[in-house]
Amino acid sequence: MYPMKRALVILAITLVPFVSGAEETTLPSLTAEVRHVDTIYAAPQSIIGVTVIGETPLTDADVSVTLNGNMLPLATSTDDARVLTGEYTVTENDEEGPVELVATFTNGTVLTGVTKGDTPIIDVTVPTLMLTEAPPIEFEATQPEGSPVAYVSPASSDPSVQIHCEPASGANFTAGTTEVLCYAQDLAGNTSEPVVFLTVIVSDTEAPSVSLVGDATVTLTEGGTYIEQGVTVTDNGYTEFTYETMGAVDTEIPGTYTLTYHVTDGSGNTGSVTRTVTVEARPSSGGGGGSSSRRQSAEPEEEETGEVLAEEDEVSPTGEVLGASAYKFTTYLRQGAEGEEVRELQSLLNARGFMTHAPTGYFGPLTSAALAAFQSAYGLEPVGYVGPRTLILLNQGTVAEDPRIPVLLAQIAALEAALDALQSAD
């Protein structure tokens, strides 16, 4: 949340080997140099590095180094055989103040302190921050990415301690409540616990603006496909929302359906928009146009053979033969027809075991297939639609049960032949 400085402090100790002459002895000389990243202050977890440099190759057998009484392991540098390096990690238990560096050489020379550069100072004390919380800042959101808020940051009375606050003055504050936290940090990087300095409240009292993708009114034919296009949303405070759609469209049942789209932002404001979907009934056999014709093409009619059907009008046969069926069928039926007569046909097919779907009142491919099976079982050509012969069968129950049926069928055959002759003459 807040930065922690990790300074690497390097003390360079230059060792001049002991030289013995006939007239005098030259003692080793030591130059120590402190090189640091940010500061000479070392906090807990900071690393103090020690480097010993000789004019000839060195090993840890030639010199030992202690820092505040702690022996430092030394290793020969892989880049230069004259260099030994060691590290010390500061802990919270270290004594505060300048470090005490002692180098003891095998020739008996003992050197202490840093003779060149700055001596590292250990600082393990965490600063204490005491602030008076500022009055809250409140305003209405104007844009989802937030609005800049300027405030006066607290100042430190100790020049060695800086106060940092997050979010900083001038940063963008988004909708909701945001606490500005401040903490104190000294030169060593010791950091206090954060303290609430300011509360910024960005209100959002406006509902999201919800717009439909696509038309507000959609019309389609029964059995078609409804494609949901959704909505677009804009808001003055948020970019993420909760979506809920009320209502559903059943394209198999004609009617008017209302879809309501509710969009809620992070402040609980809800915007809504509605779409109306009208499912129009399929046209009866031979009728229709426009969008209805598109639905008709989705369920093509089988080629008609074996029976004569009226192309446009519903024709009721002359005469009446009543039998096993309690309902009197009066209309020739084919794919695309709908209504109570179709529903009764489906009920009969269900009762006879040729259909397993609940009656819908619409004559589609399933009904045609079941009817064809029914026709085949009762000795008729399985054409899958209701013509005069099938109409008689439906009302009687079976063609063979009534001796008048063959006579009627013969009459129908004669009529069909006459009709074929007329068509050929044309």
On average, the pLDDT of the chain sits at: 79
Neighbours of 406 (CB within 10 A): 11
**pLDDT value of position 298:** 33
Summarize pLDDT for 303-335 with one digit per residue, the tens: 333 343 333 333 333 333 333 456 888 888 988
**pLDDT value of position 269:** 95
Same domain, 38 and 111: yes
Indicate the residue among 249, 280, 311 that finishes a domain.
280
Supply the range of the domain harboring residue 97: 8-122
**pLDDT value of position 111:** 78
The answer on pLDDT for 100 being more than 80 is: yes
Report how many domains make up the chain: 4
**pLDDT value of position 20:** 39
Same domain, 103 and 28: yes
The answer on pLDDT for 117 being more than 80 is: no
Highest average pLDDT, of 43-52, 88-97, 309-318, 396-405, comes from 88-97
CATH of the domain at 20: 2.60.40
The answer on pLDDT for 106 being more than 50 is: yes
* Any domain includes 290: no
Summarize pLDDT for 122-181 with one digit per residue, the tens: 999 999 999 999 999 999 999 999 999 999 999 988 888 999 999 999 999 999 999 999
The answer on pLDDT for 183 being more than 90 is: yes
Q: Give the pLDDT mean for 413-418.
A: 76
Lowest-confidence pick of 11-25, 261-275, 396-410: 11-25
Q: Give the pLDDT mean for 262-268.
A: 94
Highest average pLDDT, of 26-35, 139-148, 279-288, comes from 139-148
* Any domain includes 297: no
The answer on pLDDT for 18 being more than 70 is: no
> Between these two residues, 248 and 423, which has the higher pLDDT value?
248
Same domain, 117 and 164: no
The answer on pLDDT for 416 being more than 60 is: yes
CATH of the domain at 269: 2.60.40.10
Same domain, 147 and 110: no
**pLDDT value of position 161:** 93
* Any domain includes 32: yes
Same domain, 87 and 50: yes
